[in-house]
Structure 1
Amino acid sequence: MELTLFWLATLLTSVVTLVPLSKSAQWWVRDLDFPRLQFSVVIGLVIILGLWRLDLSQLSAWLILSLNTAYFVYQLWWIAPYTRLYPKEAETETQTSPKHCLKLLNANVLATNRHAKSLLELVKEHQPDILITLESNLWWQQQLAPLAANYPYCLQCPLENLYGMHLYSRLPLHDGQIRYLVEKDVPSMHCLIEVAHNIKVQAHFLHPAPPSPSENDESARAMPSW
């Protein structure tokens, strides 16, 4: 009975590790790309429990441990680049001038949320150079109107489909555009942010549709049909 449970656990760890190797764009397949840390913990527990409970004189026990060890190493291979143990791809700047820094605040407000005052308080507390709101509709645009005093530069795209966006900036914006590159009802914002004299940062802001059955059946880019 105990061996059967370990085989069932190994079947589960096999699925969550091997299925994402597929090039399938189905949402449930691509969702398995994300919780790799959680999968690693589960696989690690299977290995530890296996060493404790399995009869190591049996070939099946070693097969279970070998498979899960391989899965564990593979998951860690994905996680390692995002840890401090992995070499940095870029050196840390130690002499950056504050005048050349850019502070952003990104807020997914949820269109049905009515706590606009809380967001205004966050902006006042953190004083970002750029505020980007996602899911913001006309109601949110009206509630955030007081920001104009300190954030005179903006791009506004209020929508009621949970993909509205607003960009508020205390720094000058150049060549601001609202485009629909992926889907005709999902906007993106593009601009040059003037951080300092003769220094401009090219910025792109997008709230892509998630790969979920309520939004998209597939995670692949949906080609416009218009």
Structure 2
Amino acid sequence: MQYIIIGNLALSLFAIIPYLKIDHWSIRFFDFPRVQFLSLNIFLLVVNLNFFRYESWFLVSFSMLALASLYQTIKIIKYNRIYPVEVKSTKQNIPEQEISILVSNVLMTNTSSHQLIKLIKKHQPDILICLETNKRWENELADATKAYQYQVKIPQENLYGMHLYSKLKLSNLNVRNLVENEVPSITCQLQLKSGQNIQFYGLHPKPPSPTENEASTERDAELLIVAKEVKNTKIPCIVCGDLNDVAWSKSTELFKKISGLLDSRIGRGRYSTFHAKYWMLRWPLDHFFHSAHFKLKKIKVLPSINSDHFPILTKLQYQSVAELVHEAPKFEPEDLDEANQTIKQVT
């Protein structure tokens, strides 16, 4: 019985640990496996019912576990089909107003470039953004990306290389190191075939982990710097990449509030992309956020390319009336204060 009580208390604690104002990776980790924790909670609730006792410590721990399960459900329920969608779908075919984007964290040491090349040839995305790319990956993708007139190549050997390939016209291109010198990001304007300009951000901040940054401060600050820029952008906007954060974390929620961007996964599914090799440790790390100017045509996690991430494909359609049917997230003054404080720590 004491082991059940300890399990109840531990899983209850895991639910609220991420809300401690501590940025160390050992705390921020608990943002990620909420689905896995909820599964454990449900299993342990069943065990509790089979060994139910009217004893004070048991009843207290059982009640805490039940509340923790409810809380974990509330955190992830938006990423299920039972929840209303945040981004409306469209079946209209307006090719000149559409944009398809394939994001793939290739895993720099992965030698199966032919797997990604097959997907590029099959889906022929307008935009291809590859992360963790080095010079070898650049060379191996060269033939498959010849059709992409606009190319931004940032090969690096530190797991933070980035390559952007575009069939759409690029302008105002800027490669920046927003927070850390060895971690680049790409900012530019894309032009749809209709002539509509779109502000685009490709990101891959470092995660909080024992082998990377000890704290999440740098990652959070990079996302929030971009969020503040997006807030002041007057044209449609897309932010995508491996953000090394989950969709339901407090930091991603703050990013959405400040930027006002939407997440097309809400009401559809988690679309988990990591870890590709361990199904029990899988969560959404690769993201597409966009302004209310777009409706969704398609979102799909693609087959494995032997990376630790699955590629993910999204197809959006720009519609001038889309803003009228979408409700963009809004921030409170204290949200902006929190964002500014986080940014201040790294600038």
TM-score normalised over the length of structure 2: 0.60
Structure 2 partner of 1:13:
11
Deviation for aligned residue 1:105: 1.3
Deviation for aligned residue 1:15: 2.7
1:112-139 C-alpha deviation (Å, 9 max, x unpaired) = 2222233222211111111111111112
Note if contact 1:184-1:224 (Cα within 8 Å) is conserved in structure 2. Answer: no
1:84-103 C-alpha deviation (Å, 9 max, x unpaired) = 22223333334351322211
Spell out the pairing of 1:71-86 with structure 2 (5 A cutoff): 71-86=68-83
Cα distance in 2 for residues equivalent to 1:74 and 1:41: 13
- Tell me if 1:163 matches 2:153: no
Cα distance in 1 for residues equivalent to 2:183 and 2:160: 6
Match of 1:204 among 177, 201, 206: 201
State the 4+ residue runs in structure 1 displaced beyond 6 angstroms.
Answer: none
Match of 1:110 among 93, 104, 107: 107
Deviation for aligned residue 1:148: 4.7
Match of 2:180 among 178, 183, 186: 183
- Tell me if 1:125 matches 2:119: no
Deviation for aligned residue 1:202: 1.3
Give the 3-state SS of the residue equivalent to 2:23 in structure 1. coil
Spell out the pairing of 1:129-140 with structure 2 (5 A cutoff): 129-140=126-137
Structure 1 partner of 2:262:
none
Provide the identity percentage. 36
**Greater RCO structure (CA 8 Å; 6+ sep):** 2
- Tell me if 1:173 matches 2:173: no
Cα distance in 2 for residues equivalent to 1:48 and 1:148: 53
> Considering only CA atoms, is the larger Rg found in Structure 1 or Structure 2?
1
2:32 aligned partner, one-letter code: F
1:190-216 C-alpha deviation (Å, 9 max, x unpaired) = 111111232122110011111101110
Cα distance in 2 for residues equivalent to 1:150 and 1:41: 45
Match of 1:46 among 41, 44, 55: 44
Note if contact 2:177-2:184 (Cα within 8 Å) is conserved in structure 1. Answer: yes
2:85 aligned partner, one-letter code: K
Deviation for aligned residue 1:224: 5.7
Match of 2:58 among 46, 58, 61: 61
Cα distance in 1 for residues equivalent to 2:44 and 2:144: 53
Match of 2:212 among 192, 215, 219: 215
Spell out the pairing of 1:14-33 with structure 2 (5 A cutoff): 14-33=12-31
Give the 3-state SS of the residue equivalent to 1:10 in structure 2. helix
Which one is further off, 143-152 or 65-74? 143-152
1:134 aligned partner, one-letter code: L
TM-score normalised over the length of structure 1: 0.91
1:142-191 C-alpha deviation (Å, 9 max, x unpaired) = 22222453111111111111111101111111111111102111000111
1:183 aligned partner, one-letter code: E
More helix by share: 1
Number of equivalenced pairs = 222
2:7 aligned partner, one-letter code: A
